[in-house]
Amino acid sequence: LAQTLTFDGRARIGGQAVDALDGQRFDCHSPIDGRRLTEVARCGAADIDAAVAQARAAFEDGRWAHKAPAQRKKTLQRFADLVLAHADELAVTETLDMGKPVQYARSVDVNATANCIRWYAEAIDKVYDEIAPTPRNALALIQREPLGVVGVIVPWNYPMIMAAWKIAPALATGNSVVLKPSEKSPLTALRLADLALQAGVPEGVFQVVPGFGPEAGSPLALHMDVDAIAFTGSTRVGKQIHVMAGQSNLKRAWTELGGKSPNIVFADCPDLDTAVAASVGSLFFNQGESCNAPSRLFVEASIREAFLEKALALLPQYAPANPLLPGTELGALVDETQTQTVLRYIDSGLREGAKLLAGGERVLQSTGGCYVQPTIFDGVTSAMTIAREEIFGPVLSVLTFDDAREVVRQANQSDYGLQAAVWTRDLNKAHGVARALRAGTVHVNQYDSDDITVPFGGFRQSGIGRDKSLHALEKYTELKTTWIRI
């Protein structure tokens, strides 16, 4: 399939596949071996205007927004079915485009995308509006209305899932959507637009405009006719998104941003092998390119040696390899720029005095791909760059502690607050530490639980708002009160 797939890199606007209005394109390369996959429309402000105009027209004439929730449900269920029907194609495309192991693109990314779309489809005809407890001579209806046109901007690390977390609740609640995927991994988003159309989502309701951040993302965030912007990406750009939303039309803005999640393993963790496997596996999953990667590992001093010995023993299974091979655990980083960023962080760890226990090298360079060894630094302190900044690569920083209060203080010493974990058999300690950690999600004695039913998002500079769960439905609707004299 990887050899025979062809891609249509045109934008999807008003139900059509179209080139950028000025004809500009950019090359889309695979990080697996550097091969050029296709050319993609390089959308700019004029294309964003066209996409927003289509979305607005579709919203205003009610071709989607005025449909009964049960009808939108049926259409979105078909959309989810079509995602699954194209699972192999979507998984291979995702892998070619951004380098993740195809086994996970198939079992995680495709399934989570379909599941997310289906979950919001099935939720939407079970949401009731309210009647306020007013005096008898009046009736106050409190209803949820779609916002209108929702702009969505997503990163490259989970291209389909990040898109689905936003477009599924936005479409389910009756909005029109303009999605700008990352310029590093635009291909599966384009296919999602095709499948939505095929499922019966009317023309103009869902557009995809590939392009670069400043050229296509900014015009979307600044657009006067866009009612909301749902963004996932870096904290640096997220801050700009809020400024752009505020300085344009005060559109609603939500941001899911970076993380530097602390993972605290106490000596009394229930099972050291499990703790090691989960800590290492969650960090190296998706090549470490996960916003919630447990990248700051705090190990209690008395188990440090045993922990590290077991962690090192697991490393051979994370040897970087072609992600199209079925057994690969660690694939390619998304591109050359990200590879250089990760190597610079490894360099900074060495310069600032951390001890390199394993990895640290770029490998498989003869393939033309972007592969970095799984890397573990010991002797890291909270002041070091690799303990403070998001690396977004397969680099684990190990810090040692021997006091519970002190480790919580250090864990909370971060600009971010996305996720955290605590491993202990002591119930009081688990609850106490979980309470004290400043993070949107805290895991106890595990790291990998995730479900569409729970909110996802962070404290502090990890962003504003939550994706997933019924809470996300609130984001894509306005509350309207109608007073009726009776």
Binding site for ligand NAD (CB under 6 A): 153-157, 162, 180, 182-183, 212-214, 217-218, 221, 232-234, 237, 240, 256-259, 291, 390, 392, 418, 456, 458, 462-463
Which CB, 221 or 421, lies closer to ligand NAD?
A: 221
Which CB, 79 or 158, lies closer to ligand NAD?
A: 158
Using an 8 Å Cβ cutoff, are 221 and 255 in contact? no
Three-state SS for the chain is: CCCCCCCCCCEEECCEEECCCCCCEEEEECCCCCCEEEEEECCCHHHHHHHHHHHHHHHHCCCCCCCCHHHHHHHHHHHHHHHHHCHHHHHHHHHHHHCCCHHHHHHHHHHHHHHHHHHHHHHHHHCCCEECCCCCCEEEEEEEEECCEEEEECCCCCHHHHHHHHHHHHHHCCCEEEEECCCCCCHHHHHHHHHHHHHCCCCCCEEECCCCHHHHHHHHHHCCCCCEEEEECCHHHHHHHHHHHHHCCCCEEEEECCCCCEEEECCCCCCHHHHHHHHHHHHHHHHHCCCCCCCEEEEEHHHHHHHHHHHHHHHHHHCCCCCCCCCCCCCCCCCHHHHHHHHHHHHHHHHCCCEEEECCCEECHHHCCCEECCEEEECCCCCCHHHHCCCCCCEEEEEEECCHHHHHHHHHCCCCCCEEEEECCCHHHHHHHHHHCCCCEEEECCCCCCCCCCCECCCHHHEECCECCCHHHHHCEEEEEEEEEC
Which CB, 174 or 294, lies closer to ligand NAD?
A: 294
Which CB, 394 or 463, lies closer to ligand NAD?
A: 463
Which CB, 180 or 475, lies closer to ligand NAD?
A: 180
Q: Calculate helix-pair angle for 69-85, 87-98, nearest 10 degrees.
A: 70
Which CB, 176 or 462, lies closer to ligand NAD?
A: 462
Taking the complex as a whole, the smallest distance from the CB of residue 152 to ligand NAD amounts, in Å, to: 9
| The pairing of beta strand 419-423 with beta strand 441-444 | parallel
Taking the complex as a whole, the smallest distance from the CB of residue 42 to ligand NAD amounts, in Å, to: 12
Which CB, 407 or 411, lies closer to ligand NAD?
A: 411
Taking the complex as a whole, the smallest distance from the CB of residue 300 to ligand NAD amounts, in Å, to: 27
Taking the complex as a whole, the smallest distance from the CB of residue 252 to ligand NAD amounts, in Å, to: 16
Tokens of 323: 């992600």
Which CB, 195 or 237, lies closer to ligand NAD?
A: 237
Taking the complex as a whole, the smallest distance from the CB of residue 413 to ligand NAD amounts, in Å, to: 18
User: Residue 38 — φ and ψ, nearest 5°?
Assistant: -175, 175
Taking the complex as a whole, the smallest distance from the CB of residue 203 to ligand NAD amounts, in Å, to: 24
Taking the complex as a whole, the smallest distance from the CB of residue 246 to ligand NAD amounts, in Å, to: 14
Which CB, 217 or 393, lies closer to ligand NAD?
A: 217
Catalytic choice (256, 289, 329, 390): 256
Beta-ladder partners of 375: 395
Using an 8 Å Cβ cutoff, are 428 and 225 in contact? no
- Catalytic site includes residue 474: no
Taking the complex as a whole, the smallest distance from the CB of residue 272 to ligand NAD amounts, in Å, to: 29
Catalytic choice (28, 116, 291, 370): 291
In whole angstroms, give the CA distance from residue 389 to residue 391. Answer: 6
Taking the complex as a whole, the smallest distance from the CB of residue 233 to ligand NAD amounts, in Å, to: 3
- Catalytic site includes residue 389: no
Task: Provide the annotated active-site residues.
Answer: 256, 291
